[in-house]
Structure 1
Amino acid sequence: TVHMERFYLDGKQWEYIIRTYLPKLKIFRLYMDLAADDCNQIEEYVDRLLNSFRSSFWLEEHQWYVRCHWEKMPESKGWPGIVLTTLPSRINRSGILSSSCYRSTCPDDNVYNSYDHVEVLSYARFFHLHSFLFPNLHHLDLKDPVNDEFWSHVFNLQKLRILTFYADKQYDHPENELQLLLNRMPNLHTLELCLDEDEIEYKLFSNLKHDSIRCLDFAHYTFNREECEILIHIQLGQKCGVLMLSIKHLDDILQLINQLRNLRSLKIRLLQDKDSLLISSENELNDWLTLHLPSICDFRIYHDSMDIFSRYHFFYVWIR
């Protein structure tokens, strides 16, 4: 197995190396990530590269086929990337497969289209699924509504453990869409719900149901007091063991800890604004948590490098 980036060898060079130094080689797995010399001539570049893997050594003696994935950018001033792999592919990153073009040395370009090693798939409207299949997904990241084409490629979600769902105004009824997805994922463990606060309220999702979800990541949306109360009484909340949440009112965590009977850990992002209890320093937060948290709780305050404007305080709570 060879993994190369920014430096590559073509098929003739690999043939020489294998014939000369590895004549008994039976299995050859190759991954090369390279850039075209001229973005306006990228297809010609890909053809030359693939042709170097079309000798009798590759196609007849060993039947080692390769496939190229690349982004077609004829007017781009950048240097579009090309990924070349042997088939069957061991690519494990879906971003590579979203490239708009692919071509192989296999006589039938639709053979070897099952990407068994891709465990994380990030799907958006611009993602080109082609005829690829993804039978072993563990994490599905949905940025746009799915359609019938999507289900013809992602037909097995039995192994899925994590779902990240982005909801905004492009959905007519995002809560229905999400419930239909959850119904197809019997072994799901973690639901990450990313809501556009200017367009959608959490209340829409208060009737979601699922038997195996134990981790909820709602940190991308700031819950008010009413929404925390809703979360406490829904099925997902009552089954939750790990909760990641953004809140406005610090004392809401006391309700969560006391009423979510299966809760074992919290990761909290506390928003600082004019309507909430102002915590001006980390020391104040430490004092408040020490005074108010139940004795069965431990906590740790931490810093998030992404919060450059310090609008939030961050802390963990563990329940023994």
Structure 2
Amino acid sequence: MLFEYLPIELFYEIFSYLSGGYILKAFYSINMHLNNVLIGYNHYILDLSQLDMSKKEFHLICSFLRSNQIVGLKLSENEFNVVNRFLLTFANKQQILTRLRSFWTDDTIEVDRQFLSKFASIVNYNQLSSVRFDRIRSSKNFVRFDYSLKSLTHLAVCSSKQFLQLVKKIPTNLTFLHMYFNSIDDMDQCIRFNIHQLKSLGIGIKCTSMNIQQFINKFQYYQWRQLVQLNLNLNVDFHLQFVMLQDIFSNMFRLKHLVLILNQPLTADNDLLNGIVWESYITTSLIDLKTFNFQLPTSKTSEQRIDSLLKTFRTKWWLKKKQWFIEYDYHKQLLITVPYFASTRCDNRNTYSLGDIMNWDIFYRNINHLQIDLSEYGDNDQIFITEPTRRSPRFNNLDRLVLIGYLSEYVCNQIQEQVNLNRVKYFSFGSIAESANTFIRLLENMPNLYYLCIRDSKVCDIFNSWSLSFPSVRKLILADYESKTRTELFHHLIFLFPRLTDLTVNYQSRSMILYLINEFVHLEKLTLHLTPNQYAPNPTWISKHSRLEMNEFESKVFNYNDQTKKFILWINAEMISHRQTRRKCTVQ
């Protein structure tokens, strides 16, 4: 079926699940009809924190989208200085994001008055309905922010103290409030102004044995009218008792969703670790509760005692009626609900008591990052426990695979049997393979591979054995290879990775740079690691001797504390026409 025959509403429904950058990357310039669909869509949510966003994609966002099409914005700082570039692009065009409703900065950005004042040129803070600040800069001489955030309904910030220093007054229309509170008074102040309409409340707070009763008293006083969700992250310096939580939840009659995180280890006889006690309380006091997820640390105890605790959570009520599944994380010594708190990473250097896991499918289905230290694999090969009746791979949702050490034929076979390699997009290989064919066989089963990192001195021997190219690979990192093989190595790269857009290698010579720029016609970013005594090439020299003109690239040198340096060259791929002839250059 042709795209032209699909209803526009279907495209809009698909777009609502995607970041604006991914939408443009996937659908832009396929045909005029789709371009018109993109032009007509007015609910773009931009995530500028995406690590794989290229310079070309960023320029497409800034040049294609109108300011009134953007309703959500997530910012993150990176080497390309994407935050200031985005701000300057729209400020220079004198375009205000008139329909922006959601504004999020991650922990790479320190939010302060200066930052907010800069963005006031394109953001109307009084129209925002959702704000999240993962990092706020403290200052003794903090000048309050001039905007009231009067339309705000959703707020998530990392510190109540810093936020209250920053804003003019507390927003009073919040239905969603998630915050780390630096004091009970801060918490009380924020809740009281919004208690009548609050539907979702997230509290992170530290309490002592001296003020826990004050904390509990506040909750016994609150009269919740609409609260249906509570996330409570409680850091205490004493052994919390079940009756204390009962008092905290006492007026939450409409609660439907509860997340509980404790930081102080509990002894095995604490009722908070008893599923029977929880079952009795929930069935009588929290009768509307639909989801319950917790992370409860335990004191060091025997496996037999842990098994006894788990049995209290494996009654018919827990497993059949509620379908809430509890496991024990032996590595972190946590009693957890799965899949909510199940790890998304699996590392064979950690301690896993896989034989005690009841919900195998949930455990494996949740893993998206697998790291194997092959030097320890013999002692921890329970990760790949085989079942005669099982035919499908265990790790079926894996998108990142990291191997460290010596890759044998046996382990390679185990990985192929137990991992759905079709889903792997990121593969890091810091190993030595039993043979080049062993490694290649693994790689050939990754048709959707996007990112490849190889740290192997014999990488050229591996490339010599390849007969197929890998057009899906866009990002390649090579390290620890022998410098004497670089001429042969780079010739291999042209054939093996014809669609490469991002390449990271060690700096060898200026002629090497020219060779890579001239031969990799799709390259958008080139990163070169320099030793302390090496100098980065001059941009004018690059422009003069390569296929690039001066206005077609940018470059910058980054210096690090360990005396190493990194040279990054960003290529404006959209400004370069496809050239039939390119300068040829040998690698010296």
TM-score by length of 2: 0.43
Q: Supply the AA of the counterpart residue of 2:415.
A: F
Query: Which whole-Å deviations, capped at 9, do the CAs of 1:82-109 have from their partners, x for residues lacking one?
Result: 353336985422249953314668xxx3
Q: Which has the higher strand share?
A: 1
Find out whether 1:213 has 2:462 as its counterpart: no
Determine the C-alpha separation between the residues in 2 that align with 1:147 and 1:5: 40
Residue number among 227, 231, 235 corresponding to 2:486 in the alignment? 227
* Residues 81 and 179 of structure 1: CA distance in aligned 2, closer, same or farther (over 3 Å): same
Residue 113 of structure 1, CA deviation: 5.1
Query: Which whole-Å deviations, capped at 9, do the CAs of 1:242-301 have from their partners, x for residues lacking one?
Result: 11112232441111101222222112212346xxxx42xxxxx37x23433432321122
Question: Whose relative contact order is higher, 1 or 2, with alpha carbons under 8 Å and at least 6 apart?
Answer: 1
Partner residue in 2 for 1:292: 542
* Residues 17 and 267 of structure 1: CA distance in aligned 2, closer, same or farther (over 3 Å): farther
Residue number among 393, 402, 422 corresponding to 1:141 in the alignment? 402
Determine the C-alpha separation between the residues in 2 that align with 1:270 and 1:88: 43
Q: Supply the AA of the counterpart residue of 2:503.
A: L
Matches within 5 A, 1:78-93: 81-86=333-338, 91-93=343-345
Residue number among 424, 439, 449 corresponding to 1:160 in the alignment? 424
Q: Supply the AA of the counterpart residue of 2:336.
A: L
Q: Supply the AA of the counterpart residue of 2:444.
A: N
C-alpha RMSD over aligned residues: 3.3
Residue number among 258, 261, 270 corresponding to 2:521 in the alignment? 261
Q: Which has the higher helix share?
A: 2
Partner residue in 2 for 1:76: none
* Residues 56 and 210 of structure 1: CA distance in aligned 2, closer, same or farther (over 3 Å): same
Contact 1:301 1:314 in 2 (8 A): yes
Contact 1:67 1:102 in 2 (8 A): no
Determine the C-alpha separation between the residues in 1 that align with 2:562 and 2:360: 51
Partner residue in 2 for 1:303: 559
TM-score by length of 1: 0.73
Query: Which whole-Å deviations, capped at 9, do the CAs of 1:200-235 have from their partners, x for residues lacking one?
Result: 353432443343333343343256375145323442
* Residues 96 and 15 of structure 1: CA distance in aligned 2, closer, same or farther (over 3 Å): farther
Determine the C-alpha separation between the residues in 2 that align with 1:157 and 1:201: 21
Determine the C-alpha separation between the residues in 1 that align with 2:398 and 2:426: 9
Determine the C-alpha separation between the residues in 2 that align with 1:301 and 1:221: 21
Matches within 5 A, 1:265-276: 265-272=525-532
* Residues 230 and 111 of structure 1: CA distance in aligned 2, closer, same or farther (over 3 Å): closer
Contact 1:120 1:137 in 2 (8 A): yes
* Residues 205 and 167 of structure 1: CA distance in aligned 2, closer, same or farther (over 3 Å): farther
Contact 2:528 2:567 in 1 (8 A): yes
Contact 1:121 1:139 in 2 (8 A): yes
Find out whether 1:179 has 2:429 as its counterpart: no
| Structure 1 unpaired stretches of 5+ | 72-79, 280-284
Partner residue in 2 for 1:15: 279
Determine the C-alpha separation between the residues in 2 that align with 1:302 and 1:6: 39
Partner residue in 2 for 1:238: 498
| Structure 2 unpaired stretches of 5+ | 1-257, 267-271, 387-392, 574-588
Find out whether 1:312 has 2:557 as its counterpart: no
Query: Runs of 4+ in structure 1 displaced over 4 angstroms?
Result: 87-90
Partner residue in 1 for 2:366: 117
* Residues 300 and 110 of structure 1: CA distance in aligned 2, closer, same or farther (over 3 Å): same
Give the length in aligned residue pairs. 285
Determine the C-alpha separation between the residues in 2 that align with 1:261 and 1:93: 36
Partner residue in 2 for 1:4: 261
* Residues 311 and 61 of structure 1: CA distance in aligned 2, closer, same or farther (over 3 Å): closer
Find out whether 1:37 has 2:260 as its counterpart: no
- The structure with the largest alpha-carbon Rg is 2
